[in-house]
Amino acid sequence: MCRKKFIAGLTSIVGARALIGIFLLTAVMTDLCAQKPKIVIGLVVDQMRWDYLYRYRDRYGKGGFNRIMGEGFSCDNTLINYSPTVTACGHTCIYTGSVPALTGIMGNDWYDRYNGKIIYCTDDSTVTPIGTDRGGKMSPRNLLTTTIGDELRMADNFKSKVIGIALKDRAAILPAGHTANGAFWFDSETSRFVTSSYYMNELPSWVQRFNDKKNMDSYVNRDWETLYPIGTYTKSTSDDKTYEEVSGREKRAVFPHRSGAVRATPFGDGLTLNFAKAAMEAYGLGLGDATDFLTISLSSPDGVGHQYGPNSIEIEDTYLRLDQDLAGFFQWLDNRFGKNNYLFFLTADHGVASSPGYSIENEMPGGAFDLSNIGKRLNEALRERFQIDNAIESITELQIYINRELLAAHEINKNTVENYIADWMIRQPGIARVLSMESLESAVLPSPIKVMMVNGYNAARSGDMAIIPLPGWKAGSIQGADHGLIYAYDTHIPLLWMGWKIPHGSTNRLVGMTDIAPTLASLLHIQMPSGCIGQPVVEIAGK
């Protein structure tokens, strides 16, 4: 658009004979017009560990992950710098540059001690679902800071468009921010993309067309065979493992998997990316004078990872298929915007631990504990010690909420109770520490862990104490896999950049997840989000 206007203006002034000069000046003007990218596209691969980039690299093609690493920039030592490492916190941190202590998003769920109920991170009773009658009362109102998308919108007086897309509601809503033009997520019960009245009063016609049953059937009702002969999956364990969870009506967790929930198959990635293309076309993203922003989260790797674990053939197949999906997506972006006219980054909201069953089988540390049973026995122990009932109101997201009013009514010192809980819990299998959240600064902990715990503590929403399991342990069963802890398998994530003004290279310098948003702000010359505590990645954004 900028180039066409420039040529037309010059032609009217000097005439057709000056075409050679016009073309020379156009080259200069093209550089001036490229001071901002047409669109920024952030892609979060839910539960992607950093090592997946290299574990399967010799099986990836040229156009997906290898293209980003071959043309773009990789921050190979990117770590999450808060706790807990769960989906809502991760997606929020990426786009705010902030931590749960400030954003208020300190878990997928938390216990509201003032109203005595569990709060889901994007719950909003003031809105109505759009596109479904089942649930969907969702918005970003629980988020206490701005996002990079909000700052982009404010910087140009709301000319930029911002859209969030994911299978998970929280992964679409929280990245897009408060002022987004729209956020869309997948309703598993109806197999449709939906939204809420926070964004619009009716589902756009393009979404209704995309939700056509024939279109959805190609993703939702598909059996899952391996992409290549199963014998070639030598990066993974054998297929038949008892510690992998069985889905649907299957009796064993082995290929081929019969059609099931799309979020637990790799086909959800293709569905999400194709919906993202449809959104770009419908909203004309990247075609206006202002820079637009599209946030995409691929939720399927998380569903597959939880069920089968990071050492499974299922995970390897998921990433080989995702590599092909990315190659097609990049080609589509090249054709639409031009290869260097869009700014793309890829990261993850968290990693994942090996299945405890895998660890036990291979004689490595790991196991599982029954948190519900521990909570019941803890309350019984407190009853016996302090003669009070139900001293623990809730244990949510590995945080213990103590009944403060009950202690005050019985004139029981809270610190005394916390010390008793810490001593009692440390004797339970799989528990490394239980810490009072209000005294984290004085806790005897390695410095990085202390920082993570402090960053994760929100005074209004966090519990009184935090449970830290031993490495390799998780709440629940030894089957499947989980995340959420302070250890490297959960905190070491990929961070790749490609496209507009991104140099080729890599760094092993320590980068925090909180550094992504300020890097974007620096590149776009806009204000950092309101709660941002990160620093720009100087290798990309300059010194």
| Domains of the chain: residue spans and CATH | 2-33 (no CATH), 39-103+114-351+498-541 (3.40.720.10), 367-475 (3.30.1360.150)
Q: What percent of the chain has pLDDT over 90?
A: 86
Q: Is the pLDDT of residue 217 over 60?
A: yes
194 vs 213, 402, 431, CA distance in Å?
Answer: 14, 38, 40
**Rounded Cα–Cα distance for residues 98 and 528 (Å):** 10
Q: What is the pLDDT of residue 354?
A: 98
Report, as an integer, the average pLDDT of 407-415.
96
Helix H or strand E segment including 488: helix 488-491
Q: Is the pLDDT of residue 29 over 50?
A: no
pLDDT bucket at 125, cuts 50 / 70 / 90: very high
192: closest CA among 211, 173, 171? 211
Report, as an integer, the average pLDDT of 38-54.
98
Q: What is the pLDDT of residue 15?
A: 52
* Tokens at 210, concatenated: 């995309």
pTM for this model (two decimals):
0.93
Whether 469 contacts 359, CB under 8 Å: no
Q: What is the pLDDT of residue 33?
A: 43
Helix H or strand E segment including 27: helix 19-33
Report, as an integer, the average pLDDT of 168-195.
96
Q: What is the pLDDT of residue 34?
A: 56
pLDDT bucket at 24, cuts 50 / 70 / 90: very low
Q: What is the pLDDT of residue 133?
A: 86
Q: What is the pLDDT of residue 543?
A: 63
DSSP of 352-375, one letter per residue?
-PPPHHHHHHTT-S-EEE-HHHHH
Q: Is the pLDDT of residue 229 over 50?
A: yes
The DSSP symbol for 178 reads S
Residues 6 or more apart whose CB falls under 8 angstroms from that of 311 comprise 236, 237, 354, 355, 358
* Tokens at 155, concatenated: 């910087």
Helix (H, G, I), strand (E, B) or coil at 349: coil
Flag the least confident range among 7-21, 147-161, 255-269, 372-386: 7-21
**Rounded Cα–Cα distance for residues 388 and 413 (Å):** 13
pLDDT tens across 280-295, in order?
A: 999 999 999 999 999 9
Active site residues: 87
Q: What is the pLDDT of residue 25?
A: 39
Helix H or strand E segment including 465: strand 465-469
The DSSP symbol for 123 reads B
Higher pLDDT, 18 or 517: 517
Report, as an integer, the average pLDDT of 440-445.
85
Q: What is the pLDDT of residue 19?
A: 42
Residues 6 or more apart whose CB falls under 8 angstroms from that of 217 comprise none
Whether 339 contacts 384, CB under 8 Å: no
